[in-house]
Structure 1
Amino acid sequence: MQFLSDNAASVHPAVWEAMRAADEPDSPYDGDALSGALDEKLSALFGRECAGLWVATGTAANCIALATMVQPHGGVVCHREAHIEMDEGGAPGFYLHGAKLLLAEGEGAKLTPESIRAVIDPIRDDVHQVQPHAISITQASEYGGSYRADEVAAIAALAKERGLGLHMDGARFGNAAAFLDCSAADAAGPVDALSFGFVKNGAMSAEAIVFFDPQAADIARYRRKRAGHLQSKGRFLAAQVHAMLKDDLWLANARSANAAAAEIAGACGERLMHPVEANELFVRCTAAERETLREQGFGFYDWGADAARFVTAWNTREEDARALSKAIADL
Structure 2
Amino acid sequence: MQFLSDNAAPVHPKVWEAMQAADNPDTPYDTDALSREMDARFSALFGRECAALWVATGTAANCLALATMVEPHGGVICHREAHIEMDECGAPGFYLHGAKLLLAAGEGAKLTPADIDAVLAGITRGVHQVPAHAISITQASEYGLPYRPEELAAIGAMAKEHNLGLHMDGARFANAVAALGGPAVEVAGPVDALSFGFVKNGGMGAEAVILFDTEKAELVRWRRKRAGHLQSKGRYLAAQILAMLDDEIWLQNARAANDAAKIIADEAGDRLVHPQQINELFVRMTAGERAALRDQGFAFYDWDETCVRLVTHWASRHEDSEKLGKAIAAL
Partner of 1:107: 107
For residues 276 and 106 of structure 1, what CA distance do their matches in structure 2 show? 18
- Does the 8 Å contact 1:59/1:88 carry over to 2? yes
Deviation at 1:277, TM superposition (A): 1.4
For residues 27 and 17 of structure 2, what CA distance do their matches in structure 1 show? 20
Unmatched segments (≥5 aa) in structure 2:
none
- Does the 8 Å contact 1:135/1:167 carry over to 2? yes
Partner of 2:261: 261
Partner of 1:228: 228
Residue type at the aligned position of 1:19:
M
SS state of the match for residue 114, structure 1?
helix
Residue type at the aligned position of 1:157:
A
Deviation at 1:125, TM superposition (A): 5.8
Deviation at 1:302, TM superposition (A): 0.9
Partner of 2:252: 252
Residue type at the aligned position of 1:270:
D
- The alignment's C-alpha RMSD in Å is 0.6
For residues 110 and 71 of structure 2, what CA distance do their matches in structure 1 show? 25
Residue type at the aligned position of 1:163:
N
Partner of 1:38: 38
For residues 195 and 285 of structure 2, what CA distance do their matches in structure 1 show? 33
- Does the 8 Å contact 1:125/1:131 carry over to 2? no
SS state of the match for residue 228, structure 1?
coil
Question: Is 2:256 the partner of 1:239?
Answer: no
Partner of 2:318: 318
For residues 124 and 223 of structure 1, what CA distance do their matches in structure 2 show? 31
Partner of 1:201: 201
TM-score (norm 2): 0.99
Residue type at the aligned position of 1:168:
M
For residues 33 and 214 of structure 2, what CA distance do their matches in structure 1 show? 19
For residues 125 and 159 of structure 2, what CA distance do their matches in structure 1 show? 16
Residue type at the aligned position of 1:221:
R
Unmatched segments (≥5 aa) in structure 1:
none
Question: Is 2:256 the partner of 1:294?
Answer: no
For residues 319 and 11 of structure 1, what CA distance do their matches in structure 2 show? 20
For residues 71 and 290 of structure 2, what CA distance do their matches in structure 1 show? 45
Deviation at 1:305, TM superposition (A): 1.8
Query: After TM superposition, which residue ranges in structure 1, 4 or more long, deviate above 6 angstroms?
Result: none
For residues 315 and 164 of structure 1, what CA distance do their matches in structure 2 show? 39
Deviation at 1:52, TM superposition (A): 0.1
SS state of the match for residue 52, structure 1?
strand
Counterpart mapping for 1:1-331 below 5 A:
1-124=1-124, 126-331=126-331
For residues 283 and 247 of structure 1, what CA distance do their matches in structure 2 show? 34
SS state of the match for residue 187, structure 1?
helix
Q: How many pairs does the alignment contain?
A: 331
Deviation at 1:306, TM superposition (A): 2.6
SS state of the match for residue 221, structure 1?
helix
Deviation at 1:303, TM superposition (A): 1.4
Deviation at 1:122, TM superposition (A): 2.3
